[in-house]
Amino acid sequence: MLSPHLGRIGRTATLLLFAAVFGYPLLAYLAVAFRGGDGADSAVALGNAVATWQSILAFNDGTFLQWLTNSIIVASVGSVVAVVAALPAGYALARLRFRGRRLLRFLTLLTMVVPNTVLVIPIYLEVSAVGAVNNLWVVGLLMGFFPFGVYLAYIHFKTTLPTPIVESARLDGLTDVQTFFTIALPISKQAVALVGFFSFVANWTNFFLPMVLLPLSTSTTVSVGLQQLVSSSPLFDPTTAAGLDVRLYAPHLALATLVTTLPVLVVFVLAQRYLIRGQTLGAVKG
């Protein structure tokens, strides 16, 4: 056995090495966003980013801002719907006995562990059958189906809501619906934050669903839009790019990507104190 001292050095060195593996590409990418021109041999400067940002805005008459707006609409609608649906459902699953409870919980777990992209083509067939393709609100609503959120709420109510409180509310003559709204919900800020955060991030980064349901290039979200930026860049498609007024090089792509991740970071900071506690994660441990 190594001496504890050596062990600690080895441990720290390994952790730092992996920190470099994860951190270095991010830093390098961040730096590119602040380089000028086509990104080769140019110094990092804030002024470069300003110029780069203006060319991104000029791309297809400001379509980038339109994409960002679309993403904000879709992701916010989706997470509000998810929270509104998931909390009462999670409460009912955790605290009430009703017919179909086991089936509902089973379907929730199943849809939660199945990757959501395998449902995209079936959803596309459904949505195009009713002629609702290219509708932001439909996409937002569909994103509101977030079984993981129901699972989080279920765990939350199962573990953090003391049974005596619920029982005494029942004795006081409150109906279960009233108990949920007056007692359970007010002490569930953490669950709201968790469901809202995870759902927002999932919606924001969703690629396949908006790509299929919002095929018009102006009505799509920024995740699909980034792909259009890539395919318009002379780095990857010189022939198409030659016909465009705006030349998108590495700095443009990097800056656009970073701007795209800002909302996720903002939401993360807002929800952070609820996330880091990790109560929910600890609570599910078997």
Q: How far is the CB of 189 from another protein (least distance, A)?
A: 19
Tell me the C-alpha distance between 101 and 93, whole Å.
Answer: 6
Nearer to another protein, 35 or 60 (CB): 35
For another protein, which is the closer residue by CB, 57 or 176?
A: 176
Report in angstroms how near the CB of residue 112 gets to another protein at its nearest: 8
How big is the chain by its Cα radius of gyration, in Å? 24
131 conformational bin, left if phi > 0, alpha if psi -120 to 50, beta if neither: left
Q: State the minimum distance, in angstroms, from the CB of residue 139 to another protein.
A: 11
Q: Closest approach of Cβ 255 to another protein, in Å?
A: 11
Torsion over CA of 272, 276, 279 and 281, rounded to 10 degrees? 110
**Structure tokens of 53?**
């940002």
| Shortest distance, position 131 Cβ to another protein, whole Å | 14
CB 193 within 8 A of CB 274: yes
Q: Which helix (H) or strand (E) holds 101?
A: helix 101-113
| C-alpha–C-alpha distance, residues 192 and 141, integer Å | 18
Burial track 101-121 (b if 16+ CB lie within 10 A, e otherwise): eeeebeebeebeeeebeebbe
Residue pair 258/30 in contact by the 8 Å Cβ criterion: yes
Q: How far is the CB of 209 from another protein (least distance, A)?
A: 10
Reduced to 3 states, what is the DSSP secondary structure of residue 255? helix
Tell me phi and psi for residue 35, to 5 degrees: -95, 160
